[in-house]
Amino acid sequence: MLNQLAEHLAQGLSQTPKSLSSKYFYDTVGSRLFQQIMALPEYYPTRTELAIFEEQGAAIAQALRAGAGVGQPLAVVELGAGDGLKTKILLRALLGLPAASPLTYVPVDISPSALDELVATLRQELPALPTAPLTAEYGEALATLAARPEPKAVLFVGSNIGNFGPVEQLAFLQALAAPLTPADRLLVGFDLRKDPRRIRAAYDDAQGVTAEFNLNLLHRFNNELGADFQLEHWQHFPDYDPSTGAMRSWLVSRRAQTVRVAALGGQAFEFEAWEAIHTENSFKFSLPQIEALAASAGLQVVEVFQDAAGDFADVVLAV
Ligand code: AVI
């Protein structure tokens, strides 16, 4: 029986053009590199969303609680919680609302190491907050979501939605909306369209951390599947298309080469010189596009929270 990673590699490298999913970026090393990316001068989304939460946290908390009755418990379910740095601000704001009632935080992440760290820091910083962490992919998390009886505030922040292609964005929002009741709220972070050069620079930083993050995917296949990718023969290449909002990253083969994968019985994959593997989407959105996407998913936009420069939007949605 092949594991999921091996199956994904076999399938992704057998299609034309070759493509791998960015969800496999987040092994222990990848999660650490992403933490470094979030602090880079060029990578504006994290600090912009952080500022939105810091400056408008109380209003966001109120909007998230508005559907649940006074005194009713609330489960804050966060999909792709990562280090939860920004969410702590919202959790504090929710805990600080007048007549605040019981709150449970359910962080969901694909990386167990990221979740362990998050729970450990929460135990120190917000010891009174019950947490119910879940190591899972989004699909599994949706089933857990449906099973919780109390009103929910579901957070999908950090512009994680941009990592899906347009068809998956809609399918994911529809799946998120399906188990929601009118008492629930959804908070989705969208990175907005802006100067294309700024966007591209955010994925091509001067220190090369994003390149390392992308290349770590190949390192992971070497480590976990006995592949023999030679990292020096691969190049990180990001590109932004301002006409569609598609920010895409590739790994480009610097020369013709063959890669063998032990976990696939030594199967060989051929790469031509300058052939590219698509590894990530990071779509950027306009406000009308967000409205249309929400409407197609059966969701209403309740409130939009933006930074003053209009770089990022945190949108509260309801069924
Ligand atoms: C997690 N995600 C929203 C990040 C993004 O901006 O697409 C991942 C990332 N990839 C390269 N830099 C950051």
Which pLDDT score, from 0 to 100, does residue 1 have?
57
* Distance, CA of 202 to CA of 214 (rounded, Å): 13
| ipTM confidence score | 0.99
Summary mean pLDDT of the chain: 94
- Give every CB contact of residue 227 below 8 A, 6+ residues apart in sequence: 9, 218, 221, 259, 260, 261, 262, 263
Mutate to test the pocket of ligand 1, among 42, 188, 282 (most ligand atoms within 8 A of CB): 282
Which pLDDT score, from 0 to 100, does residue 114 have?
82
Q: How far from 218 is each of 29, 234, 270, CA to CA, in Å? A: 12, 9, 15
Express each pLDDT in 255-282 by its tens digit: 999 999 999 999 999 999 999 999 999 9
The tokens for 146 are: 């449906």
From edge to edge, which strands make up the β-sheet containing 234-241?
Answer: 234-241, 246-253, 276-281
Confidence of residue 145 (pLDDT cuts 50, 70, 90): confident
pLDDT at 37 over 60: yes
Q: Is 210 in the pocket of ligand 1 (CB under 6 A)?
A: yes
Express each pLDDT in 7-32 by its tens digit: 999 999 999 999 999 999 999 899 89
Confidence of residue 82 (pLDDT cuts 50, 70, 90): confident
How many whole angstroms from 159 Cα to the centroid of ligand 1?
8
Kindly report the protein residue whose alpha carbon is nearest to atom 12 of ligand 1: 203
Express each pLDDT in 89-120 by its tens digit: 999 999 988 766 789 999 998 888 888 989 99
Express each pLDDT in 184-205 by its tens digit: 999 999 999 999 999 999 999 9
Mutate to test the pocket of ligand 1, among 21, 31, 40, 163 (most ligand atoms within 8 A of CB): 163
Confidence of residue 149 (pLDDT cuts 50, 70, 90): confident
* Distance, CA of 280 to CA of 269 (rounded, Å): 20
Give pTM, 2 decimals.
0.94
pLDDT at 2 over 60: yes
* Distance, CA of 176 to CA of 38 (rounded, Å): 26
